[in-house]
Amino acid sequence: MMTQKFKLKKEMLLGEGERVLFMGTALDTPEELHIARTGKTLKFVVQKGYIDDFAIYVENPYNEYYSSFEQVLSNGDKLPRYQVRDIIDVDDETLKKYRD
Protein backbone atom coordinates (compact mmCIF):
# COMPACT_ATOMS: atom_id res chain seq x y z
CA MET A 1 0.00 0.00 0.00
CA MET A 2 1.26 3.43 -0.95
CA THR A 3 2.53 5.91 1.57
CA GLN A 4 0.08 8.81 1.83
CA LYS A 5 0.54 11.12 -1.17
CA PHE A 6 3.00 13.89 -0.41
CA LYS A 7 1.80 17.40 -1.36
CA LEU A 8 4.60 19.23 -3.14
CA LYS A 9 4.28 23.02 -3.24
CA LYS A 10 6.33 25.35 -5.42
CA GLU A 11 7.64 27.15 -2.31
CA MET A 12 9.35 23.91 -1.20
CA LEU A 13 11.62 24.14 -4.25
CA LEU A 14 13.09 27.49 -3.23
CA GLY A 15 16.46 27.81 -1.55
CA GLU A 16 19.97 26.65 -2.16
CA GLY A 17 21.27 23.18 -2.75
CA GLU A 18 19.85 19.75 -3.24
CA ARG A 19 17.86 18.06 -0.53
CA VAL A 20 15.48 15.18 -0.07
CA LEU A 21 11.90 16.40 0.29
CA PHE A 22 10.13 13.09 0.78
CA MET A 23 10.71 9.33 0.80
CA GLY A 24 7.98 6.73 0.48
CA THR A 25 6.81 3.46 -0.97
CA ALA A 26 4.24 2.45 -3.56
CA LEU A 27 3.09 -0.81 -5.08
CA ASP A 28 4.18 -1.60 -8.62
CA THR A 29 0.60 -2.03 -9.87
CA PRO A 30 -1.57 -0.21 -12.43
CA GLU A 31 -3.50 1.36 -9.53
CA GLU A 32 -0.44 2.94 -7.90
CA LEU A 33 3.02 3.20 -9.47
CA HIS A 34 2.83 1.37 -12.76
CA ILE A 35 6.41 0.40 -13.61
CA ALA A 36 6.37 -3.32 -14.50
CA ARG A 37 3.26 -4.75 -12.76
CA THR A 38 5.35 -6.91 -10.45
CA GLY A 39 3.19 -6.20 -7.40
CA LYS A 40 6.35 -5.42 -5.41
CA THR A 41 6.59 -2.54 -2.97
CA LEU A 42 9.00 0.00 -4.47
CA LYS A 43 10.85 2.77 -2.68
CA PHE A 44 10.88 6.29 -4.15
CA VAL A 45 12.63 9.55 -3.26
CA VAL A 46 11.53 13.10 -4.14
CA GLN A 47 14.58 15.36 -4.39
CA LYS A 48 14.84 19.14 -4.76
CA GLY A 49 17.43 20.17 -7.32
CA TYR A 50 19.92 23.03 -7.35
CA ILE A 51 17.84 25.29 -9.61
CA ASP A 52 14.49 25.14 -7.80
CA ASP A 53 13.42 22.04 -9.69
CA PHE A 54 12.75 18.50 -8.54
CA ALA A 55 13.04 14.86 -9.59
CA ILE A 56 11.69 11.54 -8.36
CA TYR A 57 13.87 8.45 -8.26
CA VAL A 58 12.30 5.03 -7.96
CA GLU A 59 13.58 1.56 -7.20
CA ASN A 60 13.93 -0.74 -10.21
CA PRO A 61 11.62 -3.74 -9.57
CA TYR A 62 14.06 -6.12 -11.27
CA ASN A 63 17.14 -5.07 -9.32
CA GLU A 64 17.49 -6.43 -5.78
CA TYR A 65 20.40 -4.06 -5.09
CA TYR A 66 18.29 -1.31 -3.53
CA SER A 67 18.00 -1.94 0.18
CA SER A 68 17.84 1.69 1.32
CA PHE A 69 16.37 5.00 0.26
CA GLU A 70 19.93 6.34 -0.12
CA GLN A 71 20.65 3.67 -2.75
CA VAL A 72 17.44 4.57 -4.59
CA LEU A 73 18.51 8.22 -4.59
CA SER A 74 21.97 7.48 -5.95
CA ASN A 75 21.16 4.57 -8.30
CA GLY A 76 17.40 4.59 -8.89
CA ASP A 77 15.54 5.22 -12.13
CA LYS A 78 14.13 8.69 -12.71
CA LEU A 79 10.35 8.60 -12.87
CA PRO A 80 8.94 10.02 -16.14
CA ARG A 81 6.97 13.26 -15.83
CA TYR A 82 3.70 11.60 -16.86
CA GLN A 83 3.88 9.36 -13.76
CA VAL A 84 4.67 12.05 -11.17
CA ARG A 85 1.05 12.48 -10.12
CA ASP A 86 0.74 8.74 -9.51
CA ILE A 87 2.70 9.16 -6.28
CA ILE A 88 2.70 12.85 -5.28
CA ASP A 89 0.10 15.59 -5.24
CA VAL A 90 1.39 18.49 -7.34
CA ASP A 91 -0.28 21.40 -9.15
CA ASP A 92 0.32 22.23 -12.83
CA GLU A 93 2.69 25.13 -12.09
CA THR A 94 4.91 23.04 -9.83
CA LEU A 95 4.88 20.08 -12.24
CA LYS A 96 6.52 22.36 -14.81
CA LYS A 97 9.55 22.39 -12.50
CA TYR A 98 10.07 18.62 -12.88
CA ARG A 99 13.58 17.82 -14.12
CA ASP A 100 13.25 15.67 -17.27
Please give the pLDDT value at position 16. Answer: 82
pLDDT tens-digit readout, 4-42: 788 999 899 988 888 999 999 999 998 888 899 999 999
Give the confidence band of 3 by pLDDT, cuts at 50, 70, 90. Answer: low
- Within 13 A of 49's CA, how many CA atoms are on the CB side? 11
Kindly tell me if the per-residue pLDDT of 62 is higher than 80.
Answer: yes
Please state the domain extents for the chain.
6-95
DSSP 6-40: EEE-GGGG-SSS-EEEEEEEEESSTTS--SS----
pTM of the model: 0.90
